[in-house]
A and B are shown apart, each in its own frame.
Chain A
């Protein structure tokens, strides 16, 4: 039976509409980042494309050029411009910090979680199930509940305002979900496969490294994307536990001040912040193929 044309059209229309709803904020944000201030703030009409594109916002936030030098001291609301020649809108270090933290915590989480998930999936030990529940219980509590003790602990341990500190705290939040996810991927691989490897002469470590690990590559990639995106966008913990080191979400909020908000800069840094995340996902997505274990077993 052929689907009637109007139905097909309707389906496409619905799909396009939904996509547009989700894409519009990103589009508008990107558009804002290349608008001059008078186009961003125009109280008479909404400016769509009727403006002179400018890269000033990018030159300030990601190239580190001085805003006053670029605009003769009259960009934006003008009142929050760099004091004493220092460019407080320079996002270059923040981008580097954010990348270090997101990549670091993702790698750390994956290494620990793969080991934990393998043990939970493949080995029987006392309290196996209880341990799993305990791991999950970390997620029951909102991070804000532990933030005050964390601030004090981090101060005493000298981890406050360090990359390592934020890497650890992001890993702490990500670990439970990563362990559970990876465990479910591991559970999908029949134990017979490990056992076949052992009978073939592999030690447990070899069967893990040469047989099991390559088979959960897709699962690891998916988990890594989740961890990366969480760390990349996390705000609260980073805000409390850092002052010099700033991650992008925290840095961007400093552009909103009591004397005015630099929407052009916010949009430019926000748009730039999408790029590393986008590249990371692009890199791992080729591993995100379904059915990696296909062919190991009958079905």
Chain B
């Protein structure tokens, strides 16, 4: 087990810089998820840690040892690939034993380790099969088995669940988390799926365009997004954003937008006339039954079971509200919505950074 440190890491392909000075400390034993849209550099960062991509600038260390020039085989890491990357001509047992066979580990130890891993991953009945005779989920487990038998310092996962169907994905998610709780090995996990990130991570690292946008626990990044990108990227359906100007009504700050006056929390660090983006998550937009709030026109109702998504038109802008009530809303009818003040986010229209509360 080991900590991992990225110190001002830069990656360029020719003249194109894809990672612009990444600084990240991963404590020993933590489960860190690198989250971001396609092309944000998260996989590149992971592959640099694995030694599969050269490091253009900066330093990568594993357990305090700088590994910039260390061959992947000498880094004592294990990696699970998106497409599993199994050795198709070997049986499950041989796949899992491969790393130890290379190290010329004695047969008894190999046998013991493979059986141990197979037991954890419920692969005992498949050890003598070839990967082609396994289902997708089983193949993914073999790939994980190949990683855990080695007792590596760091586990790397590169979008390991994106090839699985939805139900299996949920199941494997839990299994990976359980595995981490059992083994307590430092894990770096790359995904573009925010649900995976939120459910599994100790720490979420949100990336965009080769930069880290925010580092925090899942609830931190959800409740206190550092900027507009994080606010919109995390959460589904996404946060409602209304652009407007800070005004004043009856002595209290408001947001004047599209002819509406939305209430602004009084403890926000804003001045009158400031251009801001007003953000509120759908579940923090409640239907108001006492007449206050803003009027919107319902366009689509999407019941999901536990909750209902209400898409509505607010002065020409589509917004979404989530309700756990079971009322008979109708498209084209009006609805009064009231944002919960303690959950309103404001972002500066220029810098897109979150505006702090006093």
Contact = CB atoms under 8 A, between A and B. Distances in A.
Interface residues on chain B, size class: 20 to 34
Contacts of A206: 102
A298 B163 contact: yes
B85 interface: yes
Interface string A276-299: 000000000000000111111110
A170 B50 CA distance: 44
B87 A197 contact: yes
B72 A190 contact: no
A190 B85 contact: yes
B259 to A, nearest CB: 52
A145 B135 CA distance: 55
A295 B79 contact: no
A298 B86 contact: no
B132 A295 contact: yes
Contacts of B146: 196, 200
A12 to B, nearest CB: 33
Interface string A212-224: 0011010000000
A295 B73 contact: no
A211 interface: yes
B157 to A, nearest CB: 12
Nearest to B146: A200
B288 to A, nearest CB: 49
Contact of B52 (A193, A195, A292): A195
B277 interface: no
A206 B72 CA distance: 13
Contact of A202 (B51, B75, B102): B102
B88 A192 contact: no
Contact of A195 (B72, B86, B103, B133): B72
B89 interface: yes
Contacts of A190: 83, 85
Contacts of A291: 132
A205 to B, nearest CB: 12
Nearest to B73: A201
A195 to B, nearest CB: 5
A295 B86 contact: yes
Interface in B150-192: 150, 163
Given A294-B132, A296-B88, A192 B81 contact: yes
B73 A193 contact: no
Nearest to B149: A200
A196 B89 CA distance: 14
A199 interface: yes
A111 to B, nearest CB: 20
A203 interface: yes
B85 A195 contact: yes
A296 B85 contact: yes
A296 B86 contact: yes
A190 B219 CA distance: 37
13 contacts: A192-B85, A193-B85, A196-B87, A198-B51, A198-B52, A199-B75, A214-B89, A215-B89, A295-B132, A296-B86, A297-B84, A298-B136, A298-B139
**Which 10 A/B pairs are nearest by Cβ-Cβ distance?**
A295-B132, A295-B131, A192-B85, A296-B88, A200-B99, A297-B83, A196-B85, A298-B163, A294-B132, A214-B89
